[in-house]
């Protein structure tokens, strides 16, 4: 049996012998999740069963088989060279939990076992992790040495939102929004998101007007119940309160209130349903002018009650308002009208929007612009609270991203760069978007990874729908979580030696300073950097 221990930054392809250095020792902090892989190819004449056993002096040990997921769209014409072969039709991504120790494997192919451990507060020192593989005719064992440093990561201060699509959960699992089953599923997914660095959650007070075909609708997931009677509005916040309570219980720090106007220009109202004359109906949508009298009067009534509600819950400072996602310069007029309404009605609230054109910020239309990574060097000098994001378009210029076809170091470098740029927040749009582009129909994320040949695989989701309403992780989800841990480790080191000294470590021996477009591409550089950070701690 061919075997090799690898880092979490290596991707193992079934048809290629891994060309990476053996990775059999490292270090981590006491409260840090640590992962490594054991790649193997059994020398057998037919498909076989394999027994996997992992032994380590930790209570929290997770073992996964890395599985390949199909990919039709791997990139765009402007995709840079920092990708794997874009002609590949599948990539290692799904982490399938190994629960009964035995797994089925195919002959003549490389496979990977992903091992994750979480040390405990009293577990400092060198620890051995043994991974044993056994078939009917072969047995092999590898040992990994993990040095647990007597220090702990500080809490994450970065606000990180990865858009949480409640309607996709309801559609896939066939449950009604806000039913008993819905709340169980939502909490399972929130717990998983928080465990991987999410600290802010998209909160659908009304059905989010995101990635929706003009004239089309997404399933209704509206936390706030609306009643219209004799021309006046009333609001029930029971579901909103339950959502907030679940979020706070599980570690969510901030609430990203869903956009109050349609995407790409704020020209229309989002879909809003209400009970009118004892019947539920849609009262606003694509036919509703964004800044028209009817919708403005509705927002005035809603804002008055919403402000009372968040003050009662004590979460006003945790709420962030949205106008519209990614307006362009041609939509400045419509966005300005909508932004003025939000500023007037939600005075004193935090606000943010993804904006590629800094003129929207210059016009003081939004407090916190969230720029694409490719605009980071334009926005950073002018914005006090710097936020950035990536999506399908950031596949050029070596920008950090998390696509199937990209090496994992391109995913993990983000933590270092967010530290360098003193970022306050990071946004990505697809935690679990299991629809086609424009939400025209559901997709099976195990078979369709590109939103119906619309976006490069990996853009639309980082978790898969597992059984019993529980999420399955991707290796990209784990690597991104490692990036968040790197950021926390850098913050801890700054407390110890100061920011200037930390920056000297980060940019030591580099020809050019670190930016979102210029950073070392070798996975070993990231490992060596983290090794040095741990040494300093």
Summarize pLDDT for 183-200 with one digit per residue, the tens.
999 999 999 999 999 999
The continuous run of DSSP H or E covering 359 comes out as: helix 359-362
Mean pLDDT calculated for residue range 471-495: 98
**What CATH number is given to the structural domain containing 123?**
2.60.40.10
Which residue is it, tokens 């989800």?
Answer: 477
Is the per-residue pLDDT at 489 higher than 80?
yes
User: Do 113 and 233 share a domain, yes or no?
Assistant: no
For 158-177, how does the pLDDT look when each residue is reduced to its tens digit (9 = 90+)? Answer: 999 999 999 999 999 999 99
Burial (CB < 10 A; 0-12, 13-18, 19+), residue 225, is: middle
Residue 395 has what pLDDT? 98
Structural domain contains residue 285: yes
User: Do 133 and 233 share a domain, yes or no?
Assistant: no
Mean pLDDT calculated for residue range 86-96: 98
Q: How confident is the model at residue 328 (pLDDT cuts 50, 70, 90)?
A: confident
Q: How confident is the model at residue 48 (pLDDT cuts 50, 70, 90)?
A: confident
CA angle 2–8–9, rounded 5-degree value: 100
Mean pLDDT calculated for residue range 302-308: 98
Mean pLDDT calculated for residue range 366-378: 96
What is the number of residues in the chain?
Answer: 537
Q: How confident is the model at residue 385 (pLDDT cuts 50, 70, 90)?
A: very high
Phi and psi for 482 in degrees, rounded to 5?
A: -60, -40
Is the per-residue pLDDT at 78 higher than 90?
yes
Cβ 120 vs Cβ 58: under 8 Å: yes
Residue 138 has what pLDDT? 83
Domain enclosing residue 90, as ranges: 2-154
User: Can you tell me the distance from the alpha carbon of 530 to that of 439, in angstroms, rounded to the nearest whole number?
Assistant: 40
Laid out side by side, the sheet with 102-105 consists of 25-29, 139-149, 125-134, 48-55, 102-105
Q: How confident is the model at residue 133 (pLDDT cuts 50, 70, 90)?
A: very high
User: Can you tell me the distance from the alpha carbon of 435 to that of 199, in angstroms, rounded to the nearest whole number?
Assistant: 24
Is the per-residue pLDDT at 1 higher than 90?
no
User: Do 88 and 214 share a domain, yes or no?
Assistant: no
Mean pLDDT calculated for residue range 348-356: 95
Give the 3-state DSSP-derived string for 39-108, with helices as H, strands as E and coil as C: EEECCCCCCEEEEEEEECCCCEEEEEEEEEEECCCCCCCCCCCCCCCCCCCEEEEEEEECCCCEEEECCC
Q: Which of 154, 171, 189 represents a domain boundary (last residue)?
A: 154
Structural domain contains residue 201: no
For 505-519, how does the pLDDT look when each residue is reduced to its tens digit (9 = 90+)? Answer: 999 999 999 999 999
Is the per-residue pLDDT at 136 higher than 90?
no
Which residue is it, tokens 């990561």?
Answer: 153
Q: How confident is the model at residue 47 (pLDDT cuts 50, 70, 90)?
A: confident
Structural domain contains residue 159: no
User: Can you tell me the distance from the alpha carbon of 354 to that of 370, in angstroms, rounded to the nearest whole number?
Assistant: 4
Structural domain contains residue 338: yes
What percentage of the chain reaches a pLDDT higher than 70?
100
Q: How confident is the model at residue 13 (pLDDT cuts 50, 70, 90)?
A: very high
User: Do 149 and 274 share a domain, yes or no?
Assistant: no
Mean pLDDT calculated for residue range 76-100: 96
Nearest to 449 by CA among 117, 109, 71, 59: 71
User: Do 7 and 150 share a domain, yes or no?
Assistant: yes
Residue 59 has what pLDDT? 84
Structural domain contains residue 445: no
Structure tokens at 115: 């091992």
Q: Which residues pair with 65 in a beta bridge?
A: 96, 113
User: Can you tell me the distance from the alpha carbon of 268 to that of 178, in angstroms, rounded to the nearest whole number?
Assistant: 26
User: Do 101 and 19 share a domain, yes or no?
Assistant: yes
Is the per-residue pLDDT at 146 higher than 80?
yes
Query: 359-368, 456-465, 477-486: which has the minimum mean pLDDT?
Result: 359-368
User: Do 150 and 8 share a domain, yes or no?
Assistant: yes
Distance from the first to the final alpha carbon of the chain: 39
Is the per-residue pLDDT at 149 higher than 90?
yes
Mean pLDDT calculated for residue range 454-473: 98
For 413-457, how does the pLDDT look when each residue is reduced to its tens digit (9 = 90+)? Answer: 999 999 999 999 999 999 999 999 999 999 999 999 999 999 999
For 109-132, how does the pLDDT look when each residue is reduced to its tens digit (9 = 90+)? Answer: 999 999 999 998 788 999 999 999
Q: What SS3 class is residue 389? A: strand
User: Do 140 and 212 share a domain, yes or no?
Assistant: no
User: Do 150 and 211 share a domain, yes or no?
Assistant: no
Residue 22 has what pLDDT? 97
Residue 329 has what pLDDT? 87
Structural domain contains residue 202: no
Is the per-residue pLDDT at 100 higher than 80?
no
Mean pLDDT of the chain: 96
User: Do 68 and 146 share a domain, yes or no?
Assistant: yes
Structural domain contains residue 464: no
For 262-286, how does the pLDDT look when each residue is reduced to its tens digit (9 = 90+)? Answer: 998 899 999 999 999 999 999 999 9
Number of domains in the chain: 2
User: Do 16 and 107 share a domain, yes or no?
Assistant: yes
User: Do 18 and 86 share a domain, yes or no?
Assistant: yes
Structural domain contains residue 310: yes
Residue 45 has what pLDDT? 79
Mean pLDDT calculated for residue range 246-264: 97
């Amino acid at each position: 049996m061919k075997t090799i221990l690898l880092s979490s930054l290596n991707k193992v392809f079934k048809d290629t012998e891994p060309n990476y250095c053996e990775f059999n020792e490292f270090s981590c902090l006491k409260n840090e999740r640590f992962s490594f892989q054991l790649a193997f190819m059994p020398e057998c004449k037919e498909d076989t069963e394999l027994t996997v056993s992992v032994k380590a002096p930790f209570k929290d040990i997770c073992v996964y088989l890395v599985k390949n997921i199909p990919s039709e769209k791997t990139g765009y014409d402007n995709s840079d060279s920092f990708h794997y072969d874009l002609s590949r039709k599948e990539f290692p991504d799904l982490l399938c939990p190994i629960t009964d120790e035995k797994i089925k494997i195919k002959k003549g192919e490389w496979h990977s076992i992903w091992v994750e451990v979480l040390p405990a507060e009293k577990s400092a020192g060198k620890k051995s992790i043994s991974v044993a593989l056994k078939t009917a005719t072969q047995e092999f064992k590898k040992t990994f040495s993990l040095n647990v440093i007597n220090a702990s990561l500080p809490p994450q201060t970065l606000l990180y939102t990865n858009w949480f699509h409640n309607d996709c959960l309801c559609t896939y699992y066939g449950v009604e929004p806000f039913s008993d089953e819905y709340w169980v599923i939502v909490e399972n997914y929130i717990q998983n998101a928080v465990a991987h660095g999410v600290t802010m959650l998209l909160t659908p007070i009304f059905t989010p007007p995101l990635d929706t075909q003009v004239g089309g609708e997404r399933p209704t997931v509206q936390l706030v119940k609306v009643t219209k009677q004799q021309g006046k509005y009333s609001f029930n916040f029971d579901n909103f309160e339950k959502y907030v309570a679940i979020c706070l219980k599980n570690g969510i720090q901030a609430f990203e209130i869903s956009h109050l106007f349609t995407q790409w220009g704020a020209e229309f109202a989002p879909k809003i349903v209400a009970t009118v004359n004892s019947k539920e109906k849609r009262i606003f949508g694509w036919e509703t002018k964004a800044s028209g009298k009817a919708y403005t009067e509705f927002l005035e009534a809603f804002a008055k009650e919403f402000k009372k509600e968040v003050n009662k819950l004590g979460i006003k400072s945790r709420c962030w308002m949205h106008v519209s996602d990614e307006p362009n310069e041609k939509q400045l007029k419509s966005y300005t009208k909508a932004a003025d309404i939000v500023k007037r009605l939600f005075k004193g609230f935090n606000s943010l929007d993804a904006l590629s054109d800094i003129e929207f910020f210059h016009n003081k239309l939004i407090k916190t612009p969230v720029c694409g990574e490719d605009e980071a060097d334009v926005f950073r000098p002018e914005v006090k609270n710097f936020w950035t994001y990536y999506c399908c378009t950031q596949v050029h210029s070596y920008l950090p991203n998390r696509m199937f076809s990209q090496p994992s170091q391109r995913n993990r470098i983000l933590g270092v760069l967010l530290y360098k740029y003193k970022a306050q927040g990071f946004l990505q749009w697809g935690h679990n978007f299991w629809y086609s582009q424009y939400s025209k129909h559901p997709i099976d994320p195990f078979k369709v990874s590109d939103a119906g040949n619309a976006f490069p695989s990996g853009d639309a989701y980082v978790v898969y729908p597992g059984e019993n309403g529980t999420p399955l992780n991707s290796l990209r989800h784990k690597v991104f979580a490692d990036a968040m841990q790197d950021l926390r480790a850098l913050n801890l080191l700054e407390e110890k030696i100061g920011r200037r000294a930390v920056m000297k470590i980060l940019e030591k021996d580099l020809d050019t300073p670190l930016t979102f477009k210029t950073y070392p591409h070798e996975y070993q550089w990231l490992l060596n950097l983290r090794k040095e950070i741990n040494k300093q701690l």
